[in-house]
Amino acid sequence: MSDAGGGRATRLEERDRPWVMRTYAGHSTARESNALYRKNLEKGQTGLSVAFDLPTQTGYDPDDELSRGEVGKVGVSIAHKGDMHTLLDGIPLDEMNTSMTINATAAWLLALYMTVAEENDVPVERLQGTTQNDIIKEFLSRGTYAFPPGPSMRLIADMIAFTVDAVPKWNPINICSYHLQEAGATPVQEIAYALSTAQAVLDAVRPQVDDETFPRVFGRMSFFVNAGIRFIEEHAKLRAMGQLWRELGRERYGVDDERFLRFRYGVQVNSLGLTESQPENNVIRIVLEALAVAMGRDARARAIQLPAWNEALGLPRPWDQQWSLRIQQILALETDILEYPDIFEGSNVMEGLVAELVEGAREEMAVVAEHGGAVEAVDYMKTQLVESHRARLAKIESGEQTVVGQNAFTTTEPSPLQQGEDGGILTVDPNVERDQIEAVRHWREQRDEPAVRAALDELRGAAEDDGVNVMPATLAAARAGATTGEWAGTLREVFGEYRAPTGVDSAAGADDAALEEVREKVERVSEALGRRLKVLVGKPGLDGHSNGAEQIALRARDAGMDVVYEGIRLTPSRIAATAVQEGVHVVGLSILSGSHRELIPEVLRELREAGADVPVVVGGIIPAADAEWLREAGVARVYTPKDFELTKSIDDIVDLVAERHGAAAAA
């Protein structure tokens, strides 16, 4: 044992228990994902983290028009209880701790999970796990919402009130600040917006339960946070969140039982900072970020999942996910971090940093409260995130913020990790979508149709009555064999549709010398064109990760261009119609879900048929081979994460428009 400062180092009498180790996984079909889960558990993973595809997350069946190109791409396709049975085949649900990254359709996926447990004779009282179920951050950052804010909050409240007794070991929600940081949130914003969301959720649930039950509701609330590369500050952020959470419980809700006041969180470390350039550097980033949530015992994560080194390139392969799992195992089992009490206790530096973050978060929470709380403040918070993300990108472009391998030390050797036919990433079989469409149609043909119709009618009636909890009717529909699209479609009929704010119109603008040069060029080209140069920024399909599209739209606006940006979830036909109606000079498409091979050609075809002879540029997570394929298909430019200098990309687009429209001399 070491000797520190003349005294004996303090060790725990028993080594601390390791956190739950997960990898975020799932793709293609339930059968393929089940095989992946079994292999991961054999490798020492101690919990499941299920990734669902975008149709499942947003409430569409595989054969819906909006599901085109998205089935099985960023997660597994689950359309009904049969798929869930296949997904969980051979996995002991009474022993497993399962996290499901699902929000708008969380009530439905939990109902399917419960139904599978029941039909396998597993008491639902023994189920352990978490549904993400945080819809506010979907409006702000991730985009997989299905219903308007009010009905969405009702679904969340109904689910929490139902599970607190029916599934008492289940975490019905984890307030998810992870995606807020991915959208640009500062540590203060991440704390403030997450806790404001938690407050809105608790306020919605409180009228549905009695005073004796409410402390247990508070105790089942969990969080899913982000840990970035500034790992000292990130650790302080977690301590600050814990302090504010306990204050919220005691002062606002009168919870005084210490069992229910603990700040419980899981974590995935930062994906925003992963680079396409020199991607091998991402491994070092991931390790350092994991330290932020593992070092200090009093603020240690209860569950951790780490991204793979190649997520800026495309879908990770099983080997890549194994590497991330091994990082966790080495950290927990080979180092000594679990042997000591909290190593930051008494640190003046840490205490000062925590106090600074607590003060800033309180001030920002007060601003959210002035806007009416988290639900009413969505527009305000979205604008703040867009502006913070703009400031972050500007620092990287200027070199003020160093990103090794991207804007500094860019000379490199070819990476052996990217050699081979697959280019270092997983490619989903293009036949998966066709097979899933056939499978869901076959499911509908074989089920008891009158029972399904009766269950959906019951669901509709429950949704129409604000005084009725929708979970029992949701469970009845799951048991009867209804599909994901039918459940969500029934609720859409009652609750209506919704388009979240983009934050672009209200965000502050950028201004620097490089941008001023582009602005002058836009003026010259616009004069040559006879009107203001106009760009349409569009996101076809169900991909809701709009951060890149928002920043492109913002930078194009700052450069003096007219910008048409309608947000996420657009069909190719709508994009083409808007391009014609608005008379745009160029169309920019953003796709990060891997559906570019299916959707981009559809947009090109729709533009041709609509008579829009304009260049199309594409940005997203696009492998080199696919980029060449897109150019051959008629795309004028392809931008990927390595093209981080947005002003340079906008300049390139201006030149492209000038060449296409005969205004090159002006450019």
Tell me the residue type at 152: S
**534 belongs to the catalytic site:** no
The active-site residue out of 27, 389, 521, 545 is 545
Catalytic member of 63, 134, 158, 543: 543
Is 179 noted as a catalytic residue in this protein?
yes
| 539 assigned to active site | yes
Of the candidates 108, 46, 425, 92, the residue with the CA atom closest to the CA atom of residue 100: 108
From the list 27, 179, 389, 596, the catalytic residue is: 179
Helix, strand, or coil (residue 128): strand
Q: Dig out the tokens for 588 from the structure.
A: 């920019």
Instruction: Please confirm, yes or no, whether 253 is among the known catalytic residues.
Output: no
> Angle CA(439)–CA(441)–CA(445) in degrees, nearest 5?
115
Q: Which residue of the set 37, 178, 253, 639 is catalytic? A: 178
* Coil/strand/helix, residue 5: coil
d(CA 446, CA 245): 49
**661 φ, ψ to 5°?**
-105, 15
Annotation marks residue 60 as catalytic: no
630, HSE (Cβ side, Cα atoms, 13 Å): 30
**Strands 24-25 and 20-22, how do they pair?**
unpaired
Instruction: Write down the residue that tokens 């139902």 correspond to.
Output: 162
Q: Which residues pair with 268 in a beta bridge?
A: 226, 305
CB 415 within 8 A of CB 279: yes
Nearest Cα neighbor of 394 from 521, 284, 307, 507 is: 507
The DSSP secondary structure of 494-558, one letter per residue, reads HH-------STTTSPPP--HHHHHHHHHHHHHHHHHTS--EEEEE-BTT----HHHHHHHHHHHH
Catalytic residue among 80, 81, 137, 539: 539
357, 240 Cβ separation under 8 angstroms? yes
Q: Is 59 helix (H, G, I), strand (E, B) or coil?
A: coil
User: Is 24 considered catalytic here?
Assistant: yes
149 with 139: CB under 8 angstroms?
yes
Q: Which helix (H) or strand (E) holds 563?
A: strand 562-565
Residues 6+ away with beta carbon under 8 Å from 335: none
DSSP 8-state symbol, 401: S
| Inter-residue contact 265 to 238 (CB < 8 Å) | yes
Catalytic residue set: 24, 178-179, 539, 543, 545
